[in-house]
Structures are given as structure tokens and as C-alpha cells.
A and B are shown apart, each in its own frame.
Chain A
Amino acid sequence: MDAPVTLITGTRIGIGRHLAEHYLRLGHRVVGCSRAPVDWTREGYNHYGTDVADEKGVKAMFSAIRRSYGRLDHLINNAGIASMNHSLLTPVSTVSAILATNAVGTFLLSREAAKLMKRKGYGRIVNFSSVAVPLKLAGEAAYVASKSAVVALTHVLAREFAEFGITVNCVGPGPLATNLIRSVPKQTIDRLLSLQAIPRMGTFDDVANTVDFFLRPESGFITGQTIYLGGV
């Protein structure tokens, strides 16, 4: 069976779920994970209850992928958490949790994925940053720090993994209608959108289109890049 194997983190809801359904429609064998159980299922989809920041759990998931599929073609590091708050009102436990999921999780999944991908000398890793990084959003210090770390990881891992035939790139969406921005006031979102060249909310398809581009076999000469959506 030649259908590519695509691992997507954070598939319970939002962008992750949309991407899982998108790549299933394109004929990929999709593996997903999330901390909480999913309330949906599809043929060709295999789910793991894995926390991306838990090394033991992540390694166990990759062992299972190796046994089941013997390969991994694509990793989409989508899982992420956010918390909007002034830094003077942010407990350190929140900072640690955000860095663990967004930055450590991206590192851990990429490391284990590269071990599996290098067997074939081929792989595509797509990370998730945010327009909050170039916009230096006040009120999101921990989130911006974690997503800046993702951009930095993208640069360095691209260099380290290049000789294994693995590209590492990054997409930075702006606001999308997901749970992540559910509690953000409309005024704040409007101000954010006004900073984009194209001042509208992003869609799941905008994100999927960018990820599609990075995953294409023809994109083998594109690595270490971050594309911010909406013209930020």
C-alpha cells in the first residue's frame, strides 16, 4: 500500500480535525493524537490519546506507528494551546504549560518523526507558529514566546534534517474561528485583522492550502521557511 502516512497532532477539534479530514479525503493514511478523546471517527484514521509534551507517551505512539505502518511521510505539528493575559497576571504554571505543548511538543514529535522518516530518506514536517509572533502581540507573552520558539526550531531542524531528505517548514495563521480565540474580545480580533494586508479571518482551507504546498514531493527544495497568512 503506497498511500502516504500523515501524522497530525491535536486532531480532536479545530484546524487539526479539519486537516485530518482533508488528508483522508486525499487518500492519506492519517494518524492523529490529542490529550482528550475524540468524538469522531473515519475510515483510514487511527487515533492515539497522546499528550505531545509527554516523552514516554510520544515514543510509545511512534513505536506503534512503526509497527503498524513501517513508515511516516508527513508530520503536522498542529497541537497548540494559548492563554491571553497580561504577563503580570500570568502564573508561571501557565507559561510552562504553553511552552511544553507548543515548543517542547514540536521538538519531541519532530525528533521522533525524523528517526522514522530517515529510514526512507524522505519526510515533510510542518510546524505551526502564529501571526502573533511578527505582530508582537501584547497580552500573549507566553504564547508568542512559544510560537517564536517554533519558528527557531523550524530553522535549525531544517538544517539538521536536510541530509535525511526531510524538509521542515512552518505556517503562521492569523485568527481563525476556533476554540483558541473563543474568549478573545471581538474588538481585539478586529484590531488584529486590521494589521493584515488582507483584513479578514482565515479559513481552515487557507491553512490546508499552505500545508499542502509544504507537503508536496515537489517542495523538496523548500525548507526552514515560515509562511504567515493574511499578509502580515
Chain B
Amino acid sequence: MPHHDDDMRQVVDLIIDNVNQLKNTQGLKAPAQLDSATALFGGDGFLDSMALVTLVVAVEQAIEEKFGTNVSLADPGAMSQEHSPYRTIGALADYALRRLRAA
């Protein structure tokens, strides 16, 4: 079983890969440099609500392909929460990891 930091790095990389794919395939406007501190949604985030939906679904599917586990990254307070799991790449990775561990 990989160490927590390894898992976290893998999920962050997976999210960045998916953001880059959306940049290439759907013309998503995203910063050139992406890391766990990059804001995704709300505040300075570069995703609008539809791009968020597309990214979250893509990440769910990528996690299933990589880890063989089906997780739901839907969150009832996602669109309004101050501490939304979608606020940064790191927050989404942390949320996905917690869902993965709970599955």
C-alpha cells in the first residue's frame, strides 16, 4: 500500500492530466502552471459551473480506471460551500482520496 503522500501526488497528477485534456479537447482556459494550490472553482478559480461538472465526471472515471474503485465526487454543498472540495486541485485530490479510502 503506497504511502499517503504518494497517493495524494498520484491523485493531484491525475487531476492535472484531466485539466490538460480538457484544455486540449474542449478549449478550457486554464493557467499554464497547475499544482495543488491552483484555484479551480469559486473565487479565483478558472472553471465555470459546466466546466466543473465536466472535470469532476472525468476525474471520477479516471480514478476508477486507475484505482479500480468507483467513487462519487458529488457533494451537496459543492456549489456554495466556503470550504468546497472543488476550490483547488489539492482540495479536490484530498476529497477524492477520502472517498477512495471510504469506498
Q: Which residues of A contact B (CB under 8 A)?
A: 55, 59-60, 63, 66, 115, 118, 163
Chain B 33-65 per-residue mask, 1 if CB under 8 angstroms from chain A, else 0: 000000000000000001000100100110010
Q: Which residues of A contact B57 (CB under 8 A)?
A: 115, 118
Asked if B81 is an interface residue, CB under 8 A from chain A, the answer is no
- Once bound together, how far apart are the Cα atoms of A63 and B64, in whole Å? 8
B54 and A63: CB pair below 8 A?
Answer: no
What are 13 A-B interface contacts by the 8 Å CB criterion? Answer: A55-B72, A59-B70, A59-B72, A60-B70, A63-B64, A63-B70, A66-B61, A115-B57, A115-B60, A115-B61, A118-B54, A118-B57, A163-B50
- Once bound together, how far apart are the Cα atoms of A80 and B50, in whole Å? 31
Q: Which residues of A contact B54 (CB under 8 A)?
A: 118
Q: Which residues of B contact A63 (CB under 8 A)?
A: 64, 70
Main secondary structure of the interface of B (DSSP, over half): helix
Chain B 51-88 per-residue mask, 1 if CB under 8 angstroms from chain A, else 0: 00010010011001000001010000000000000000
Q: Which residues of B contact A (CB under 8 A)?
A: 50, 54, 57, 60-61, 64, 70, 72
- Once bound together, how far apart are the Cα atoms of A66 and B57, in whole Å? 14
- Once bound together, how far apart are the Cα atoms of A55 and B70, in whole Å? 11
Distance (Å) between the CB of B54 and the closest chain A CB?
7
Q: Which residues of B contact A118 (CB under 8 A)?
A: 54, 57
Q: Which residue of A lies closest to B68 (CB)?
A: A63
Q: Which residues of A contact B50 (CB under 8 A)?
A: 163
Closest 6 pairs (CB-CB, A-B): A115-B57, A59-B70, A63-B70, A63-B64, A60-B70, A163-B50
Q: Which residues of A contact B72 (CB under 8 A)?
A: 55, 59
Q: Which residue of A lies closest to B50 (CB)?
A: A163
Distance (Å) between the CB of A221 and the closest chain B CB?
21
Q: Which residues of A contact B64 (CB under 8 A)?
A: 63
- Once bound together, how far apart are the Cα atoms of A163 and B70, in whole Å? 25
- Once bound together, how far apart are the Cα atoms of A171 and B64, in whole Å? 34
Q: Which residues of A contact B61 (CB under 8 A)?
A: 66, 115
- Once bound together, how far apart are the Cα atoms of A118 and B70, in whole Å? 18
- Once bound together, how far apart are the Cα atoms of A55 and B61, in whole Å? 16
Q: Which residues of B contact A60 (CB under 8 A)?
A: 70
- Once bound together, how far apart are the Cα atoms of A35 and B60, in whole Å? 26
Q: Which residue of B lies closest to A115 (CB)?
A: B57
- Once bound together, how far apart are the Cα atoms of A118 and B72, in whole Å? 17
Q: Which residue of B lies closest to A63 (CB)?
A: B70
Distance (Å) between the CB of B27 and the closest chain A CB?
14
- Once bound together, how far apart are the Cα atoms of A60 and B50, in whole Å? 25
> Which one of A55, A60, A115, A163 has the greatest number of beta carbons of chain B within 10 Å?
A115
Q: Which residues of B contact A59 (CB under 8 A)?
A: 70, 72
